[in-house]
Amino acid sequence: MSDARKPFPFRDFEPKWQARWEHEKTFRTPGPGDDGFDSSKPKYYVLDMFPYPSGSGLHVGHPEGYTATDIIGRYKRMTGHNVLHPMGYDAFGLPAEEHARKTGEHPAINTARNIENFRRQLKSLGFAYDWDREIATTDPEYVRWTQWIFLQLYSSYFDEADNKAKPVAELEAKGWTRDRIDDVRLAYVADTPVWWSPDLGTVLANEEVEEWKAKGHTVERRPLRQWMLRITRYAQRLIDELDTLDWPDGIKLLQKNWIGRSEGAQVRFQISNFKSQIEVFTTRPDTLFGATYMVLAPEHPLVSEITTPDLKETVVAYQKSIVSKSDMDRGDLNKDKSGVFTGAYAINPVNNEQIPIWIADYVMMGYGTGAIMAVPAHDERDFEFATKFNLPIVQVVQDPQKEEGGTGVSPVLPPKLSAHHSISKSRRYLPHWQQDGCYYFLTWRLADSLPATKSDELREKREAWLLAHPEPRDEAQQKEYHSLFSDKIEQWLDQGAGQCILKDPSLRKIVDDALAHFDSKRYELIASAVMPNHVHAIIRLYPEEDLSKVLHSWKSFSAREINRASGGEGSVWQDETFDRIIRSQEHLETLIDYVEENPDKAGLTSSETSVCIRRTGETPVPPSPTTDPGIAINSGFLDGLPTAEAKAKMIDWLESNQLGKRRIQYKLRDWLFSRQRYWGEPFPIIWKDGKHEAI
């Protein structure tokens, strides 16, 4: 006997009950005044995204989402709620126009037929919709209300004082001009970059671009006059009122990030030899001293004005090359930066330096002002661009927790010692002192650079002195230590005592290579002098590095190669290393001078020593940009200030010098309203003598 179960008769069961639901209007929600309406029940509104009624019918993504909302609606109905769950059709659209153009059939006929098929499919799935409330966006009764809404927006402006919309009639009563009123309407006309298809003869939405490209149509970015809705005026209200919504915190955070509130400054850059200025918005005005070039969007209206004649052809060719790129291709997916120089220069307002103006596809007109000040040391995109095109990179923020790379100018010390920057030993058995974010003056000598008797004598005296002066030691004792040991050794070495093994250029190069090997990896090398029998270096140690471990790695690296090249027995670099924490900017500059002048003072020729000094622009490019807050450096009147204070002080300076102002900006953009050619919502507007008027 077979155990196979008899299949459930879906084809008989479901149509029977679906017909009963429709006849009895099981899922109809009565409204006020209707029979069966119970005002004591709580209201619950379930709204699905309306499908576009294409000729292909529903796809699998439609019932996937509709099933979830149907479950919620049924649950709420069973728990005593008045549930409103309608269905409708987003029925205007380009596919219906294209169908009409190819077949000659009016879009209304094709759309009605598609809606009938969608309705049949939705009912066959048994969703609990109130079919008495079914709508289509192409129905004249529906269009009537969308046009009414548009006219409310057209006839209103946003009053920032009261934080709500008010009629423009109030402005007319105050004597405002027509042009001034048009500049504040919630529905307005503007020239804005859009996705234009010349063969389709229409503007496309962002999500339609790839679809119509795949169908073989040309799509390009082009500025056109469009109707816009000024939703950006509501940006702060949208953020504030999210807090009162009964939504998951993660969803509210996504919404806030999408709106994207940023506080910063609007800064004006004068263009050299032009009356025009470039305005940029920046959230980091404290980094203005690090702005080494500017970038305009290729569509920026100033590009044609400022481009020099010799670069005109190159700039135009680049502009044409990016017209078909999407915002994603130019933004998040843009892994290989491209751009061209316009030949023009802007003046950085904080230091009056001329900086080149480029155009690049990673800057877009739809975001901010369509222009940026590029600070490559502290922005990843700018860093990639500057690295590719060999543009200057100047570090102007020093992160006290993580310092990477060189500054490109004279180094600047942490502003002051504090409990956070306490001094400690880096290793138990070596006299290497460490301080977070600090610079060190280091001296190494070769183990066999002094006669053994001198070396042993020094070691004994030093050990006796350390025993007689236990920690902690005051500043006077530390000075005494250096004068008795470090300074005395230097005097002996400078006088040519010892074997002077590093007079050999090939061995000296090994030491130079060792210093360079760890530069920008474990420390920043500020200055060095490789003498015949000892080495001076000034470094800034990176966070999470231990000074003694770094020195051990350095000495081991160079010792191995020197011993191999000279046939030594492993005695090179196995003796003393002396270090000093540099406590002031003046002391740092003095020591840099000392390292630079030391070979000459010792009577050494250039063939007997090698010197590396990095003061102005010779510092290696940072291995990556630092985007975190920190301490301002190389920034004139901002030096030593933490980021928050530096921002405020820079904005005050810009405003007092009429070069910029405080500003709050949002990523949220005004909504582009017009899309279709014919089969789309008509605007209740007429044009007379170049002016628009409500019908």
360-380 confidence digits (pLDDT tens):
988 988 677 889 999 998 998
pLDDT at 211 over 60: yes
Model confidence at 406: pLDDT above 60? no
The pLDDT, as a whole number, for residue 329 is 65
Residue 285 has pLDDT above 50, yes or no: yes
Task: Return the axis-axis angle of helices 107-124 and 94-103, rounded to nearest 10°.
Answer: 120
Averaged pLDDT, 400-419: 47
pLDDT for 497 equals 64
Q: What is the pLDDT of residue 675?
A: 65
Closest CA to 326 of 239, 242, 204: 204
Give the confidence band of 291 by pLDDT, cuts at 50, 70, 90: very high
With a cut of 50, say whether residue 405 has pLDDT above it: no
Region 536-554: what's the mean pLDDT?
A: 82
The lowest-confidence range among 114-118, 568-572, 641-645 is 568-572
On average, the pLDDT of the chain sits at 84
Residue type, 135: I
**pLDDT confidence band for 109 (50 / 70 / 90):** very high
Q: What is the pLDDT of residue 127?
A: 94
The pLDDT assigned to 404 comes to 41
**Between 426 and 180, the higher pLDDT residue:** 180
Cβ neighbours for 480, distance < 8 A, ≥ 6 positions apart: none
pLDDT at 137: 93
Q: What is the mean pLDDT of residues 409-421?
A: 48
Give the number of C-alpha atoms closer than 13 A to the C-alpha of residue 8, restricted to the C-beta side: 3
pTM of the full predicted structure?
0.61
**pLDDT score recorded for residue 451:** 66
Residue 620 is predicted with a pLDDT of 47
Q: How confident is the model at residue 500 (pLDDT cuts 50, 70, 90)?
A: confident
Q: Are 185 and 171 in contact (CB under 8 A)?
A: no
Q: How far is CA 537 from CA 18, 497, 531, in A?
A: 87, 20, 11
Q: What is the pLDDT of residues 160-179, one digit of tens each?
A: 999 999 999 999 999 999 99
- Share above pLDDT 70 across residues of the chain, in percent, rounded to a whole number: 86
Task: Count, in order, helices (H) and strands (E) of the chain.
Answer: 21, 28
Mean pLDDT of 667-683: 82
Q: Which residues contact 591 (CB under 8 A, 6 or more apart)?
A: 441, 527, 538, 582
Q: Provide the edge-to-edge strand list for the sheet that holds 220-229.
A: 202-204, 187-197, 220-229, 671-672
- How confident is the model at residue 94, as a pLDDT? 85
Give yes or no for residue 154 having a pLDDT over 90.
yes
**pLDDT confidence of residue 618:** 43
Q: Which residue has the higher pLDDT, 81 or 446?
A: 81
What one-character-per-residue DSSP string does 569-601 give? -S-TT-S-EEEEE--SHHHHHHHHHHHHHHHHH
Position 419 scores a pLDDT of 39
The residue-averaged pLDDT of 287-295 equals 93
Distance CA 290, CA 308 (A): 26
Percent of the chain with pLDDT over 90: 40
Report which listed range, 100-114, 363-377, 480-494, is most confident: 100-114
Sequential DSSP letters for 632-646: E-S-GGGTT-BHHHH
Mean pLDDT, residues 283-296 = 93
Output the CA–CA distances (angstroms, integers) from residue 467 to 206, 464, 473, 488, 543, in the order listed: 76, 5, 12, 19, 31
Contact 299, 223 (CB under 8 A): yes
Run of H or E residues at 269: strand 261-271
Comparing 51-65, 246-260, 400-414, 663-677, the range with the smallest average pLDDT is: 400-414
Which pLDDT does position 409 carry in this prediction? Answer: 45
Task: Report which of residues 605 and 199 the model is more confident about.
Answer: 199
Task: Give the residue, 459 or 292, on which the prediction is more confident.
Answer: 292
Two tokens, residue 443 = 């001296």
Q: Is pLDDT above 90 for 649?
A: yes
- Report how far residue 269's alpha carbon sits from residue 277's, in angstroms, rounded to the nearest whole number: 6
Question: Is the Cβ–Cβ distance between 195 and 218 less than 8 Å?
Answer: no
Task: Judge whether residue 573 has pLDDT over 70.
Answer: no
Three-state secondary-structure class, residue 163:
coil
Average pLDDT rounded to a whole number, residues 620-644: 81
Locate 38 and state its tokens: 């119970």
Q: Which of 240-254, 374-388, 408-422, 462-476 has the lowest mean pLDDT?
A: 408-422
CB 296 within 8 A of CB 358: yes
Which stretch of 187-191, 354-358, 532-536, 690-694 has the lowest confidence by average pLDDT? 532-536
